[in-house]
Amino acid sequence: MSTYDEIEIEDMTFHPELELFTYPCPCGDRFEILLADMLDGENIAVCPSCSLMIDVIFEPEDLEEFTAMAGTDSMQVGITA
């Protein structure tokens, strides 16, 4: 599977109320990936309007701050200290 680009998680926008990361897509829409999917090991964000995908670069421990912002219990989603 070929991706359009590799994007660091820090360059994405996190929407805590939706538990969703987004990044602008060249088509005018945005790439999207859910926090829950990332916690499950997924790292490909897709654009719902075109066929482009990006590879999100992150370490599992990077997600801890986002689970806290979203109010998600990290023990319930598999993150351990």
Distances, alpha carbon 75 to alpha carbons 13, 14, 20, 79, in Å: 24, 20, 19, 6
Instruction: Identify whether 62 is part of a domain.
Output: yes
Q: How close are the terminal C-alpha atoms of the chain, in Å?
A: 33
Q: Which of 39, 41, 44, 46 is nearest to 70 (CA)?
A: 39
Instruction: Identify whether 12 is part of a domain.
Output: yes
Q: What is the pLDDT of residue 73?
A: 56
Domain range for 61:
5-70
Summarised one tens digit per residue, pLDDT across range 46-60 is 999 998 999 999 999
Q: Cα–Cα–Cα angle for 79, 55, 14, nearest 5°?
A: 55
Q: Is the pLDDT of residue 17 over 90?
A: yes
Which amino acid, 59? E
**Paired strand residues for 20:** 15, 34
Q: Average pLDDT in the 29-36 region? A: 97
Q: Average pLDDT in the 6-26 region? A: 97
CATH classification of the domain holding 54: 3.10.660.10
Q: What is the pLDDT of residue 80?
A: 41
